[in-house]
């Protein structure tokens, strides 16, 4: 796993907090014993959270118009049924799954760090499908696939999107829908103003 500068910084902070907490807990004296112990335990907890956050960030890639977040290809199994092969570029995780529908889009989770020059890190969070026909869309099942990204049960995006985390802004965007087509390798990446799906080749079966 490659580590970004922010990941290294968070792991360093975590280590320093852990060292400081050990020193606090090792201190002697009855008067401040309770406060020292309570404060030390809080520092241990904070060190663990910061450390897990840094490791979890390693699953995210830098948002860039020149670098794919994920690559997706389709194999047609039957009418309105496709086998999708998904490769998440940063983590290297490859997933094969079945999708029902005519079109697809991708959901992308983004973490922004205003204190570090507004750096952005992204990952594929979902694939969703739909049908061309309004009647089929209402009557037939679609596919909504969620890609998890936790480190030892810790998910930095979930934390930052549910409570205030200083220095981190979490949001989520979806690409526009487009047809599932066999023989094309699709790339999910950052566009000029939003996230887009582009073709890495033009070969059709």
Phi-psi category of residue 152: left, alpha or beta, with phi > 0 → left and psi -120 to 50 → alpha: left
Rounded Cα–Cα distance for residues 46 and 21 (Å)? 10
pTM, to two decimals: 0.77
Q: Which of 71-85, 93-107, 143-157 has the lowest mean pLDDT?
A: 143-157
| Apex 32 CA angle, 27 and 38, nearest 5 | 80
For residues 30-49, give the mean pLDDT.
Answer: 77
pLDDT of 30 > 50? The answer is no
Residue with tokens 């670098």: 67
* Per-residue pLDDT tens digits for 147-175: 988 888 899 999 999 999 899 999 999 99
Beta bridge partners of 130: 103
Contacts of 18 (CB under 8 A, 6+ apart): 43, 44, 47, 51
The full 3-state SS of 155-190, as one line of letters, equals CHHHHHHHCCCCCCEEEEEECCCEECCECCEEEEEE
| Lookup: tokens for 147 | 């890609």
The residue among 119, 131, 101, 94 whose CA lies nearest residue 169 is 119
Look at 180 and 192; give whichever has higher pLDDT: 180
| Apex 56 CA angle, 172 and 70, nearest 5 | 55
């Amino acid at each position: 796993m490659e580590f970004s500068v922010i990941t290294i910084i968070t792991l360093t902070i975590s280590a320093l907090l852990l060292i400081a907490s050990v020193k606090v807990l090792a201190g002697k004296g009855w008067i401040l014993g309770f406060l020292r112990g309570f404060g030390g335990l809080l520092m241990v907890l904070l060190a663990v959270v910061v450390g897990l956050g840094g490791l979890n960030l390693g699953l995210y890639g830098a948002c860039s118009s020149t670098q794919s977040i994920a690559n997706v290809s389709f194999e047609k199994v039957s009418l309105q049924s496709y086998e999708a092969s998904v490769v998440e570029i940063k983590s290297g995780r490859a997933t094969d799954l079945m999708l029902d529908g005519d079109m697809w889009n991708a959901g992308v989770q983004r973490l922004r760090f205003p204190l570090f020059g507004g750096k952005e890190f992204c990952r594929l969070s979902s694939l969703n499908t739909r049908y061309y026909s309004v009647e089929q869309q209402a009557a037939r099942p679609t596919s909504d696939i969620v890609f998890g990204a936790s480190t030892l049960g810790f998910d930095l995006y979930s934390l930052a999107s549910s409570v205030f985390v200083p220095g981190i802004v979490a949001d989520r965007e979806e690409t526009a829908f487009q047809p599932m087509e066999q023989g094309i390798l699709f790339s999910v990446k950052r566009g000029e103003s939003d996230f887009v799906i582009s073709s890495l080749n033009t070969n059709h079966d």
